[in-house]
Chain A
Amino acid sequence: MVGTHKGAFILTSDAKRERWNITGPHFAGWEIYHIKGSPADPNRLYASQSNGWFGQQVQRSNDGGVTWEPVGNQFVYDGVPGTHQWYDGTPHPWEFKRVWHFEPSLTDPDTVYAGVEDAALFRSTDGGGTWQELAGLRGHGTGASWQPGAGGLCLHTIILDPSDSQRMFIAISAAGAFRTDDAGKTWRPINRGLKSEFLPDANAEVGHCVHRIAMHRSRPGVLFMQKHWDVMRSDDAGESWQEVSGNLPTDFGFAIDVHAHEPETIYVVPIKSDSEHFPLDGKLRVYRSRTGGNEWEPLTKGLPQSDCYVNVLRNAMAVDSLDSCGVYFGTTGGQVYASADAGDSWMPIVHDLPAVLSVEAQTLP
């Protein structure tokens, strides 16, 4: 499921993952920041549809994306919203702009979480009909000091702990990572060990530009993070972080994901820098570590190795659960690449979509 700047596309294949069928654009002309299916019912999908003219729509499918229906699109901050910091440091009122990420419940298709800009977490328990803010996140104490990153003050990552229904991780650019242990009532920053040289205090409690966090469901205490700069890991559910950039040629990037069956195998797409959002030397390379970081190998077979200047955004990488593990990513140039052999080789599924904002994989029985 691919969300782009101008619509959504559904790419399907059998288990060989050699021949693909492409349908779309769904919601043509709209930005689709994210589409995700329910783990409890793969036919239930949620899509974030927005644009600058007509705002946010939430689309729901009950038949795996064949048909869609608009559901609730009213995201109202709880109580008096207050302010966060604007780019110039002045207070700025919280204003809803769009949904960046949907995370359906692991057990109930009608329960889904939405990460939004300006950063807040909402939950629906009626299939997206109505939304309520989990206001303990913004209200935990540091919210007024959060400042937007270049892409906006967005809550872009939501991870549900499969071993503990009370625990959830989220990440915000540019505030950092946060954890709840009581199903979203109370939250605390989990940024110890992150270092951000652009901050007056590089080790500050919040203010870090976390780009993406990934977790393997068999080890929910181990988290991998692509920060603005630095690839990090935590072995204690975010209590502390260690850098594992190792031999990466650059440790700037957006996307990160974990192999479906090997919890120490992780993938990143190094991007040259925060001012040059394209691969180093015009070579599109995925880097894989089989050791949970520090030791990385470039994966290049089937990927363009000259004159390639696309970006891979934070929501635009996914893995399937087949054996061997499939890995997918989309680019701002409109290519979607797939590997059916855990990254050893790649092929483009499609070359010329609009800029890709998000990629999610569903493995159907």
Chain B
Amino acid sequence: MIRVVLPAHLRTLARVNGEVTLDIEGPITQRSILDALEASYPTLRGAIRDHVTQRRRPFVRFFACGQDLSHDSPDEPLPDAVATAAEPFLVVGAIAGG
């Protein structure tokens, strides 16, 4: 089981409260988490990464275990603590404004 924390706007969009849990087989990477997330909640397609290029939207960030993983390869394995559900994978709406 993988734990995912979504920002408030995306929880509203997906109609979920609190953390989302996902069952994923195989390597735990940004891509495998987002693939499973979008499969479970199709309304999130396009809201976190581009429909076609699959690139992360500019004001979205991915954190886990106190690290910013946003610029890592989407296929890089995530920390064991995420894979074992000891820590959640955080999808974050960047602070942008003034």
Contacts and interface: CB of A to CB of B under 8 A. Distances in A.
Contacts of B57: 53-55
Interface in B39-86: 43, 45-48, 51-52, 57, 59-60
A54 B60 contact: yes
B1 interface: no
B13 A56 contact: no
B92 to A, nearest CB: 10
Interface residues of B, number: 19
Nearest to B46: A73
Is chain B's interface secondary structure helix, strand, loop, or mixed overall? loop
Contacts of A53: 7, 9, 57, 59-60, 93-94, 96
Contacts of A52: 59, 96
A53 B8 CA distance: 12
Contacts, number: 40
Contacts of B51: 73-74, 76
A241 interface: no
Contacts of A56: 46
A304 interface: no
A91 interface: no
Given A53-B9, A54-B10, A70 B43 contact: yes
A29 interface: yes
A203 interface: no
B41 to A, nearest CB: 10
A169 B14 CA distance: 36
A73 B46 CA distance: 7
A54 B48 CA distance: 6
Interface string A27-44: 011100000000000000
Contacts of A76: 51-52
A91 to B, nearest CB: 19
A51 B8 CA distance: 13
A57 interface: yes
B45 A57 contact: no
Nearest to B49: A55
A55 B9 contact: no
A46 to B, nearest CB: 16
Nearest to B92: A53
B52 A55 contact: no
Nearest to B10: A54
Interface in B15-53: 43, 45-48, 51-52
B10 to A, nearest CB: 6
A29 B7 CA distance: 13
Interface string A57-75: 1000000000000100110
A74 B51 CA distance: 7
A28 B8 CA distance: 11
22 contacts: A52-B59, A53-B9, A53-B60, A53-B93, A53-B94, A53-B96, A54-B9, A54-B10, A54-B48, A54-B57, A55-B46, A55-B47, A56-B46, A57-B13, A57-B43, A57-B47, A70-B13, A70-B43, A73-B46, A73-B51, A74-B51, A76-B51
